[in-house]
Amino acid sequence: MTNIKNQKFITLDISGKNYLSWVLDVKLHLSTKKLKHTIDEDNATSKEERATALIFLRHHIDDGLKYECLTVENPLELWQNLNDRFEHLKFVVLSKALNDWSQLRFQDFKTVSEYNSTLFKIVS
């Protein structure tokens, strides 16, 4: 907890444009802190673990989102609220990636590196 002030990754934007990468980062960081179970359903966590996870989550979301979730005192509830708000973005990003993939043609690029760059953007 001593390094909570040092952000390990970017905060969740209020628009949710970085939600997918934020979710992966949060899960990894909570796993390393042995707190990932605090955002899983049917968990039995102590008050200290919930408080630590909640502080961590609030520290990594936009100020506008913090104000909307001021009364939330359970990290699982905050996690589910954010998930309900931004989960639809997975479908938007996936459909865009599938569309870009179907229209990707090698002959549209001047160099192999340009093609590879575009290909890796779609994959990521």
- Give every CB contact of residue 48 below 8 A, 6+ residues apart in sequence: none
CA 100 – CA 123 distance, rounded (Å): 10
- List of residues 6+ apart from 74 with CB closer than 8 A: 50, 54
What secondary structure letter does DSSP report for 106? G
Query: Are the C-beta atoms of 89 and 19 separated by less than 8 Å?
Result: yes
Assess if residue 9 is contained within a domain: no
| Domain presence at residue 66 | yes
Q: What is the pLDDT of residues 96-107, one digit of tens each?
A: 778 888 888 888
Domain count, the chain: 1
Q: How far apart are CA 9 and CA 19, in angstroms?
A: 12
Task: Report residue 7's pLDDT band, with 50, 70 and 90 as the boundaries.
Answer: low
For 12-41, the pLDDT digits (tens) are 888 888 888 888 888 999 999 998 888 888
Tell me if 4 is assigned to some domain: no
Checking if the pLDDT of 1 tops 80, the result is no
Give the residue numbers spanning the domain of 71.
18-123
What are 49-87's pLDDT values in tens digits?
Answer: 889 999 999 998 988 888 888 888 889 898 898 888 888
